[in-house]
Amino acid sequence: MVMQIHPRPRHISRPTWIVTVLSLACLFLVFSTIQKYNSGCNVFNTSSGCRSAFSEPAASEILREYEEIASRVVMKEILDPVRSKNPKVAFMFMTRGSLPFELLWDKFFNGHEGKFSVYVHVSKGKLICISPHFVNRDIRSAEVRWGKISMVDAERRLLANALKDPENQRFLLLSESCVPLYNFDYIYNYLIYSHLSFMDCFYDPGFAGNGRYSIGMLPEIEKKNFRKGSQWFAMKRQHAVITLADNLYYTKFRDVCLIMQLNPERNRSYCVADEHYLPTFFNIIDPGGISNWSLTHVDWSEKKFHPKIYEASDVTYELIKNIMSVDISEHVTSDNQKKRLIQPCLRNGIRRPCYLFARKFHPDTLENLLNIFSNFSTI
């Protein structure tokens, strides 16, 4: 018997078939994942191997939810990209607990509703706040540990949730110790009308740069392409989507970039995933699309493992003005030469101040900061 293959009906376009196939595939994956997760368990069964429906979410459940959100976001962006008529900036806070500068940010956001959205990833516990700009803005979160891939995972969870809103066109990563240096309108216009994503990225041949490279990253990542940078970024939407879509380079960093690892060039070394993943990733895929400096100022003058923490006695109008006046980005290599790498901060080809935000500020500095920024429009 000969099987006849009937031609595809002409009234169904190719895009429709693509959407149909992708939709069925997604439904199959989601269904199979749910079946696997629920296998042998129900909400009334809390015996071995099962969890109560009311217990804290397991890491596997959080990962599954993230993967589902990321898949839907990326596919929608590819198949049905939206041109925003009202572009917003997504302020994504990654915190260990509370937001000590909630009152300052509340003053910063007031009167600008519709131009921004807020997302908060809390490493431990539940976000407790009083500002309407932060209430119920925490996302499904997991514990974050310094230097580990969990830091990158938190960034990707924030991006996935923020990308669900098609109006979000810029994605800004901040910590609980960050404060804004300018009023909302200045920062909004700076970000929305910039051609680049602002991401710190530089070549450091020393022990704290390429000394952290491992041959286990080959063949995808060559040592010459390995980069370092601060994690605090401001991304365009297309770069946020690409970050979620990446599995190749992310997997390499997840499996190879470890706090303590064997390194053939040094007996023991460490690789801090959040300092290397995104700088290396964008140096490979779109080096001309990033600024190579971060919009968030930190003070490394103490030459310690972590940047200086500003205490209440440090916070003056002069300090803030000095940070705001910086228009040159500077990095220092970690090799014996201690080479200073200097570049002007160019926004759309014009030299501008480098920093829109600053950290790390101790919670006790809140009163001083509120006094300095009592009227954001004057800064």
Helix (H) or strand (E) holding 367: helix 366-372
**Nearest-angstrom CA–CA distance, 236 and 88:** 11
> Helix, strand, or coil here: 273?
helix
Mean pLDDT by 10 residues, the chain (379 residues): 38 40 41 40 32 47 78 78 87 93 96 97 86 91 85 95 95 97 96 97 94 93 96 96 94 86 53 95 97 96 86 95 96 94 95 96 96 68
What pLDDT does 352 receive? 95
pTM summary value: 0.81
What pLDDT does 185 receive? 96
DSSP β-ladder status, 179-180 and 261-263: unpaired
**Nearest-angstrom CA–CA distance, 55 and 286:** 42
Helix axes 59-79, 14-38, angle to 10 degrees: 180
What pLDDT does 376 receive? 54
> What is 106-124 written as a DSSP string?
HHHHTT-TTSEEEEEEESS
